[in-house]
């Protein structure tokens, strides 16, 4: 073996290489802003943009978790129903605790939301990994379960939050800190944390390795079961955070809460550049994807070109186009 040559300077591995695929979502976001401005001058106003981004916060937060699940080679269809279910039990617990704990019922309820999210994620993860069930089928099942549970809990209607808590809880959605709406701050924190874990930690590497090739990961001494299950648990935590932000917006959980959010979440992840077959996660692309979706919905409302009832159809078209782009850009 040749002696170890310590002196060779490493050619930079981190030299910035421009990649259209990675820049795509941000370019699309920029193009959309210009287009919006041309259609309606009010579009770029601070108020409108701040509203749009605030509304995109839930999907963005959940989509950060979905980026982990998808880049580890999984999929989670249950997120929309899970939001509704967690919002429902959070409100129920807060209402029950309100008479004894007063306003402390709010943080206590939030803790329960996070716990519930972790457990729901764990359940999804274990069914997929230990039960060895296709993620699509496993989470299709839990999607039905969570939706039925919220329907049962609300008795087919709504669970409103106790009046005594409403005012105190409102700022979590409607408040600002230093002029920035709180949901935007929360999603920024979630995204920074997500990016840190995915790009800078051991777990992030394992997650991408498991998604890229399960066998290689296994032969490299990585526990596929553990890695994938943790991805679902992260997803559950993100859903819980989204539910915590969602409750004060309407002050209630209903049967239709979170309906079709799985479509928006997966669309945001895919147009953000994360490979649906796993192995490559793009947290900031996902955030851009979530904002793009909300911007398009907003443009549809502002422009009158297309009925706003067709928002989900447009999102469906976008995810299909994004997949076609991924396929043919190979």
Partner 1 sequence: MSIVARIDRERGVAPATPVLRAEGVSKRYGTVTVLSDVTLDILPGEIHAIIGENGAGKSTFMRLLSGYIEPTEGTLAMAGHQVRFARPDQAQAAGIALVHQEILLADALTVTDNLFLGRELTKGGIVDDARMRLVAAAKLAELGCEVPATSLIRDISLADRQMVQIARALLDEHRVVIFDEPTAVLTGGEVERLLAIIFELKARGIAVLYISHRLDEVQRLADKVTVLRDGKMVGTHPGHTLSQIDMARLMVGRELNALYPQKQATRTSEPMLSVLNAVVPGFVQDVSFTVHKGEILGFAGMIGAGRTELFEGILGLRPGMATIELNGVPMRVHSQREAMDAGIGYLTEDRKGKGLLLQERLGPNLTLSALASFHPGLVLKRAREADALTRAVSSFDIRLKSLAAKAGQLSGGNQQKLLLAKVLLTAPSVVIIDEPTRGIDIANKAQIYGFIQDLVKQGKACIVISSEMQELVGICDRIIVMREGRISGEVSGETMTESNIALLATSERAQLAEGGTK
DSSP string across 172-228: HHH-EETTEEHHHHHHHHHHHHHHHHHHHSHHHHHHHHHHH-HHHHHHTT--HHHHH
Tokens in use for 297? Answer: 């919905």
The residue to which tokens 């807060």 are assigned: 94
In sequence order, what are the beta bridge partners of 181?
176
| Closest CB 216 distance from partner 1, rounded Å | 5
Q: Which residues contact 54 (CB under 8 A, 6 or more apart)?
A: 173, 181, 183, 184
| Minimal distance, residue 278 CB to partner 1, in Å | 10
For partner 1, the closer of residues 10 and 179 by Cβ is 10
Nearest C-alpha neighbor of 311 from the set 143, 59, 82: 59
Which one of residues 55, 147, 280, 282 is an interface residue with partner 1 (CB under 8 A)? Answer: 280
- Taking contact as CB under 8 A, which single stretch among the options 1-9, 20-28, 71-79, 106-114 is the one that binds partner 1? 1-9
Q: Which of 220, 301, 320, 321 binds partner 1 (CB under 8 A)?
A: 220
Q: Which is nearer to partner 1, 183 or 204 (CB)?
A: 204
* Least gap, CB of 286 to partner 1 (angstroms): 19
When asked if residue 20 is in the footprint of partner 1 (CB under 8 A), the reply is no
Count of residues interacting with partner 1 (CB under 8 A)? 35
Nearer to partner 1, 219 or 328 (CB): 219
In DSSP terms, 246 is beta-bridged to: none
Question: Shortest gap between Cβ of 132 and partner 1 (angstroms)?
Answer: 15
Given the DSSP bridges, would you call strands 158-160 and 252-254 parallel, antiparallel or unpaired? antiparallel
Which single residue is written with the structure tokens 């591995």? Answer: 13
- The single residue among 103, 177, 192, 216 that binds partner 1, judged by CB under 8 A, is 216
Among residues 76, 221, 83, 197, which one has the least CA distance to residue 134?
76
Residue 327 near partner 1 by CB under 8 A: no
Looking at the DSSP bridge assignments, the partners of residue 159 are 253
| C-beta closer to partner 1: residue 11 or 47 | 11
> Angle, nearest 10°, between helix axes 135-153 and 79-101?
40
- Asked if 222 interacts with partner 1 (CB under 8 A), we say yes
Question: Would you count residue 217 as binding partner 1 (CB under 8 A)?
Answer: yes
**Residue of the chain from 48, 50, 223, 303 that contacts partner 1 (CB under 8 A):** 223
Cα–Cα distance between 304 and 301 in angstroms, integer?
Answer: 6
Which stretch in 7-15, 53-61, 64-72, 140-148 sits in contact with partner 1 by CB under 8 A? 7-15
C-alpha to C-alpha distance for 130 and 232, rounded to whole angstroms: 13
Least gap, CB of 181 to partner 1 (angstroms): 30
CB of 201 to partner 1, least distance (A): 6
Q: Choose between 7 and 155: whose C-beta lies nearer to partner 1.
A: 7
Query: Based on the number of CB atoms within 10 Å of its own CB, is 329 exposed (0-12), middle (13-18) or buried (19 or more)?
Result: exposed
Contacting partner 1 within 196-215 (CB under 8 A): 200-202, 204-206, 208-209, 212-213, 215
Least gap, CB of 239 to partner 1 (angstroms): 24
Measured CA distances, 128 to 93, 133, 135, 226, 308 (Å): 29, 5, 6, 11, 36
Looking at 12-20, 64-72, 76-84, 288-296, which segment touches partner 1 (CB under 8 A)? Answer: 12-20
Q: Taking CB under 8 A as the rule, does residue 141 contact partner 1? A: no
User: Given the rule CB under 8 A, which residues bind partner 1?
Assistant: 1-6, 8, 10-15, 17, 200-202, 204-206, 208-209, 212-213, 215-223, 279-280
């Amino acid at each position: 073996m040749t002696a170890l040559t310590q002196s060779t300077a490493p050619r930079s591995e981190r030299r910035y290489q421009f990649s259209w695929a990675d820049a795509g979502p941000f370019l699309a976001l920029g193009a959309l802003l210009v287009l919006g401005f041309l259609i309606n001058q009010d579009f770029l106003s601070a108020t409108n943009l701040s509203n749009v981004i605030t509304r995109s916060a839930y999907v963005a937060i959940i989509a950060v978790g979905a980026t982990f699940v998808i880049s580890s080679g999984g999929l989670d269809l249950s997120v929309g129903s899970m939001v509704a279910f967690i919002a429902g039990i959070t409100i129920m617990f807060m209402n029950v605790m309100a008479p004894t704990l007063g306003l402390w019922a709010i943080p206590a309820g939030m803790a329960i939301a996070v716990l519930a999210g972790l457990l729901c994620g764990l359940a999804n993860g274990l069914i997929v990994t230990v039960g060895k069930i296709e993620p699509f089928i496993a989470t299709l099942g839990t999607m039905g379960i969570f939706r039925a549970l919220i329907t049962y809990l609300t008795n087919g209607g709504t669970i409103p939050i106790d009046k005594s808590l409403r005012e105190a809880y409102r700022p979590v959605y409607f408040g600002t800190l230093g002029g920035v709406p709180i949901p935007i701050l929360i999603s920024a924190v979630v995204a920074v944390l997500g990016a840190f874990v995915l790009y800078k930690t051991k777990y992030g590497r394992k997650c991408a390795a498991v998604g890229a090739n399960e066998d290689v990961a296994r032969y490299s001494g990585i526990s596929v079961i553990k890695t994938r299950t943790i991805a679902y648990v992260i997803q559950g935590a993100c859903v819980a955070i989204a539910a915590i932000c969602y409750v004060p917006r309407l002050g209630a959980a209903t049967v239709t809460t979170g309906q079709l959010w799985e479509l928006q979440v997966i669309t945001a992840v895919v147009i953000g550049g994360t490979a649906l077959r796993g192995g490559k996660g793009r947290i900031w692309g996902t955030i851009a994807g979530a904002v793009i979706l909300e911007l398009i919905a907003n443009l549809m409302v502002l422009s009158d070109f297309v009925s706003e009832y067709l928002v989900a159809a447009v999102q469906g078209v976008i995810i299909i186009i994004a997949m076609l782009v991924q396929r043919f850009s190979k």
